[in-house]
Structure 1
Amino acid sequence: MNTERPTFDLLVVGGGINGVGSALDAAGRGLKVMLCEMNDLGSATSSNSSKLIHGGLRYLEHYEFRLVRESLAEREVMIKKAPHIVRPLRFRLPHQPHLRPAWMIRAGLFLYDHLSTRTTLAGSHNIQFSADSPLKAGIKKGFEYSDGWVDDARLVVLNAVAAREKGADIRTRTRCIKAVREQNMWQVTLEHQITGDTEVVYARALINASGPWVSKLFDSALASPAPQNVRLVKGSHIVVPRLHDEAEAYILQNEDDRIVFVIPFEDDFSLIGTTDVDYQGDPSQVAISEEETDYLIEIANSYFKQQINSRDIVTTYSGVRPLLDDESDSAQAVTRDYTLELDDGNGRAPLLSIFGGKITTYRKLAEAAIDRISQYFPQATGTWTETAPLPGGEFTDKESLKVSLGRVYPWLPEALTTRLVRSYGTLSHQILDGAKSLEDLGQHYGAGLYQREVDYLITREWTHTLEDLIWRRTKLGLRLSAEQCHDLENYLTGNRTPQQRANDSHH
């Protein structure tokens, strides 16, 4: 074997939440790690979720007690680990007696409150809706409980940043096109998606964390049959101008047993979803259908005084969840739990494949995955991620951080300070470092986005395209005009050769 080739302990294929979580966990245990992602970090399922860190109240109906208990415990962990991008959120569940009796919901909420220890989140209680409620007049009673909100795309990126800080080599726009066992190693051929260049690296172990493509990777790169099937379930969301002024989210029951969330989104909007429909086809081509749009509008209009139609939609997004195919009758009944399949080729070059999972339990999934891989690496240290803050999360509360930023940068507009704290936490200092005025932040592209932040996102967070920048690293696509987006796109492409852009994805 050519020993000059780059050699890693572990190569992770897939830069969604499970991939970056696994790369971070392994790097923190002392393993030499590479991660490759064929597109942008979190560009498929992981940035198209309902943005919730939640126990999964409805999973109780399917008796998923272990999953719910683990998810409830992880809410507390995540709020402490990433206080900039995770926050507690109260949910209101309007009661519809013909759909679920009150005793059933109360029993579910009792379990929800007590299956795991709560330290930061308030418990559930009954509520009465008054005449000034945003709900229609006929809806008088309901329930309120706690869960958490997360900026899902930033959660992925911050795990990747943390993994890089621990020594991992993170490669975006880099596709695994072939992986073969050679003696006791994996010989992996990588193809760079911008330049078309290929590279061969070696790894002692491989993790297939390719999400919706987890089974396909067996056909395309591994040339062996997949040990499990995934069931692709599409979830679509619409974003509309805010339906009400309250801080709470709503969870709406529907006649078909599905539930839809209406969640306060980016201050001025409401996020409505999800749909849970089976999906066949290419996961990268997923999009909302007319039926899904009508479905979400109809359920929102059946509950809220503020009526909406398709002309109110600001944007939509759809994601495909790769759920373990447990042969459930309906898409919403398919388990959200995960399975880890280990094949060690008779004791040489292990391959661990991740099937299923949900964003809330990604850290526990990653921990379990690296526990399994660690048996092949006697030098690997123990679990560590539960108490380690994610980059930018080394602070106790957002208000104090805003005050301290205001002291160092008194010229910062309040709206910009708020957004920086919510996106970057203490990493805001890396963007602002040395600036003495707004002019020092460079060109203003609109909506409080300055060149300093754009450059930071290019050099430190693997940003290549306009979509990476305005939908995944930030949510400024909601606010920027077509002309402003055009200027940004020119800056992203015009100032960088393909080779420079390729180098960015190796940072």
Structure 2
Amino acid sequence: MNADEEAFDVLVVGGGINGAGIARDLAGRGWRVMLAERDDLAAHTSSSSTKLIHGGLRYLEYYEFSLVRKALQEREVLLRSAPHIIRPLRFVMPHDAAMRPAWMVRMGLFLYDHLARREVLPGSAGLDLRRSPFGAPLKSRYTRGFVYSDGWVDDARLVVLNALDARDKGAEVLTRSTVTAAQRGPDGWTATVDTPRGPRRVRARALVNAAGPWAEAFLRGVARPAGHETLATKSLRLVKGSHIVVRQCFTHDHAYIFQNPDKRIIFAIPFEGEFTLIGTTDMELPAAAAMEHARHIDEAEVDYLCEQASRYFEKPVTRSDVVWSYAGVRPLLDDAAGDPSAVTRDYLLETHADGGAPLLSVWGGKITTFRKLSEDAADLIGQMLGEQRPAWTEKAAMPGGDLREWIGAPRRPDADFERLVQAIGQRHAWLPAALARRLARAYGSRVGRVIGGADSLAGLGQEVAPGLHEAELRYLVREEWACAAEDALWRRSKLGLHYSEAQRQAVHDWFTKQEETTQCS
């Protein structure tokens, strides 16, 4: 190894949910890990999901029983690991006989209830929409339905928590840092990582390609084989999923799942207190155009989501109701399915160990199964490095998820969170109730790191925007890799949705003043 090269066991490329999860698992097993992300954590696909921890009810129609079972098992694990950012959510499915017969829906829900052990979430049930408050926002022709359970997650914060845990366990996490070259040798990888403070030369025994939509492109354009072998042996189908956010369509705390004439489904989910999140679409994109169109929803997608939601809601959803939208590209493993909705959401971990240093590429996957994917990936890396180290994440809490310091022994995740909110209110009675709840939801048991030694609102520093004080922004910069207003307002939180343009600009101006002292400079 050259004197200017830094040594690691594993270099992980990609700071989405899979890259952060794998880095966390490996670091927890004692491996020396570097994670390199060219943009912000969760800057792309991992912050653009429907924000559900779910088994995938509709995947049963495609006979994806193994995937659904695995996701249902993970659903309960994740609910216990991070009760602050993951919470139970009940879903209402109005029955439309023209879509699927009632017996088929009942059979699917029975399987959904029983494919995996369920301890936290209640099972499914029939629903008379004529007598239920959940039928009130719907058109009168929907008279019966079903209700079942899944979970909701703050997807971008889930990525950040994995990165935090990886760093706490010894990993080096780099954002705004691009792996521009990676040369595979017989006994290691030599990589160049362009960071905000200049290029770094890295030597790693193994490399993990978790670049999401760019996984195939990384193997074809950045990673260099040791000989003449082909590193890119799989193909991805890049499917764009878009969402719209509208003013509240209903005021209760349940979500809706709607069946569409094209056999797809969309969700309408309570979002950020004042809004309803509606999505998603499935639009396959050619690789050359995928990234260009990844960030923005198309007009046709807005029309589609409004039209399908309006088939169910008594009050139509129109373009003028849309206050925000987002889109992301899902990297799905090409399994030759014609319909993008039918492409498997399961993952494949592909290893290259013969003829050179170990390489593991992550193909596909979904946010619900990220922990199991990460565990499987860490097992494979250990095998290739010749040393198996035990798995550990199944019973482990995410940063902020162990609430015992505040509430004592855990009971149920949803009840535990409410106990946390109460405990924060008692310990910091000067905090406004809405702010205390928001901080608890975002940071869990780490909320003390945000508040610090403050004993009044003035102690939190300047209120840069409503409910957002300097103490929290400094915490985000110091501990959560926030470098710009967009990081704080749209990924570490969704405060940007609640603020005016002038208020968002005030946060931008605060970050501009900090540039010389942040890790991003």
In structure 2, the partner of 1:358 is 366
- Rate the CA distance shift 1:181–1:5 in 2: closer, same or farther, 3 A: same
In 2, distance between residues paired with 1:411 and 1:150? 29
In 1, distance between residues paired with 2:520 and 2:391? 31
How does the TM-score come out when normalised to structure 2?
0.94
In structure 2, the partner of 1:220 is 221
For the pair 1:332 / 2:341, whether they are aligned, the reply is yes
How does the TM-score come out when normalised to structure 1?
0.96
In structure 2, the partner of 1:188 is 191
- Rate the CA distance shift 1:419–1:265 in 2: closer, same or farther, 3 A: same
| CA-CA distance at 1:5 after TM superposition | 1.7
| CA-CA distance at 1:309 after TM superposition | 1.2
| CA-CA distance at 1:311 after TM superposition | 1.3
2:64 corresponds to which letter in structure 1?
Answer: E
2:221 corresponds to which letter in structure 1?
Answer: S
In 2, distance between residues paired with 1:344 and 1:378? 11
For the pair 1:318 / 2:337, whether they are aligned, the reply is no
1:240 corresponds to which letter in structure 2?
Answer: V
For the pair 1:264 / 2:270, whether they are aligned, the reply is yes
In 2, distance between residues paired with 1:139 and 1:282? 38
In 2, distance between residues paired with 1:78 and 1:226? 32
On the 8 A contact 1:177/1:220 being kept in 2, the answer is: no
In 2, distance between residues paired with 1:4 and 1:189? 11
For the pair 1:449 / 2:468, whether they are aligned, the reply is yes
In structure 1, the partner of 2:302 is 293
For the pair 1:241 / 2:260, whether they are aligned, the reply is no
In structure 1, the partner of 2:88 is 88
| CA-CA distance at 1:447 after TM superposition | 3.1
Question: Greater CA deviation, 397-406 or 35-44?
Answer: 397-406
On the 8 A contact 1:30/1:380 being kept in 2, the answer is: no
| CA-CA distance at 1:495 after TM superposition | 2.2
| CA-CA distance at 1:376 after TM superposition | 3.2
In structure 2, the partner of 1:391 is 399
For the pair 1:170 / 2:179, whether they are aligned, the reply is no
1:368 aligned residue (362, 376, 382): 376
- Rate the CA distance shift 1:367–1:380 in 2: closer, same or farther, 3 A: same
| CA-CA distance at 1:312 after TM superposition | 1.2
Alignment gaps of 5+ in structure 2 = 225-229, 404-409, 411-415
In structure 1, the partner of 2:227 is none
In structure 2, the partner of 1:31 is 31
- 1:12-52 CA deviation, whole Å, 9 max, x = no partner? 00000000000000001110000000000011100000000
In 1, distance between residues paired with 2:126 and 2:247? 28
On the 8 A contact 1:447/1:479 being kept in 2, the answer is: no
| CA-CA distance at 1:4 after TM superposition | 4.8
Question: Greater CA deviation, 291-300 or 445-454?
Answer: 445-454
In structure 2, the partner of 1:148 is 151
In structure 1, the partner of 2:513 is 494
2:401 corresponds to which letter in structure 1?
Answer: G
In 1, distance between residues paired with 2:96 and 2:361? 42
- Rate the CA distance shift 1:12–1:234 in 2: closer, same or farther, 3 A: same
2:389 aligned residue (371, 375, 381): 381
The number of equivalent residue pairs is 499
2:291 aligned residue (283, 287, 294): 283
2:506 corresponds to which letter in structure 1?
Answer: D
- Rate the CA distance shift 1:345–1:210 in 2: closer, same or farther, 3 A: same
In 1, distance between residues paired with 2:479 and 2:329? 28
In 2, distance between residues paired with 1:433 and 1:504? 23
Percent identical pairs in the alignment equals 50
1:406 aligned residue (425, 444, 465): 425
On the 8 A contact 2:245/2:324 being kept in 1, the answer is: yes
In structure 2, the partner of 1:208 is 209
1:447 corresponds to which letter in structure 2?
Answer: P
On the 8 A contact 2:38/2:178 being kept in 1, the answer is: yes
Alignment gaps of 5+ in structure 1 = none
In structure 2, the partner of 1:472 is 491
In 1, distance between residues paired with 2:232 and 2:194? 22
2:325 corresponds to which letter in structure 1?
Answer: T
For the pair 1:419 / 2:432, whether they are aligned, the reply is no
In 2, distance between residues paired with 1:307 and 1:440? 46
On the 8 A contact 2:92/2:148 being kept in 1, the answer is: yes
Compute the RMSD of aligned alpha carbons: 1.3
On the 8 A contact 2:176/2:520 being kept in 1, the answer is: no
